[in-house]
Amino acid sequence: AMKGSAYLINIGRGRTVDEGAMIKALKEKWIAGAYLDCLVEEPLPKGHPLWEMENVFLVPHDSHSSPYIGDRIVDIFCENLKRYVEGRPLLHVCDPRRGY
């Protein structure tokens, strides 16, 4: 359970949060608000209740951004290229069956 003053922050995956339960908690003020970088359905359709909620902050799925992201991407790519050439397992492999 979260305190009534708490904010839910989701920068991971939309499906990690029960969106219906979250909307109910927000409407009934069980929690203070939500900061959402990802949702179950993206883009969020017109008329969705989250658009009208004053205690919700919707951002364009870019919480991964930082001044260092470019360097980090290059580092990971170079390491994975080396591993590929050497026949070793790659880092940060996506598994579509798990949703990411």
Residue scoring higher pLDDT (73 or 7): 7
8 Å CB contact between 49 and 20: no
Would the pLDDT of 17 be above 80? yes
Report, as residue numbers or ranges, the catalytic residues.
Answer: 13, 42, 61
For the chain, percent of residues with pLDDT exceeding 90: 56
81 burial level (CB within 10 Å; 0-12, 13-18, 19+): exposed
Average pLDDT over residues 25-44: 91
pTM: 0.62
Average pLDDT over residues 41-59: 91
Residue scoring higher pLDDT (43 or 96): 43
- Strand, helix or coil for residue 9: strand
Q: Domain-by-domain residue ranges, the chain? A: 7-58, 69-98
What's the confidence (pLDDT) of residue 90? 94
Terminal alpha carbon distance of the chain = 27
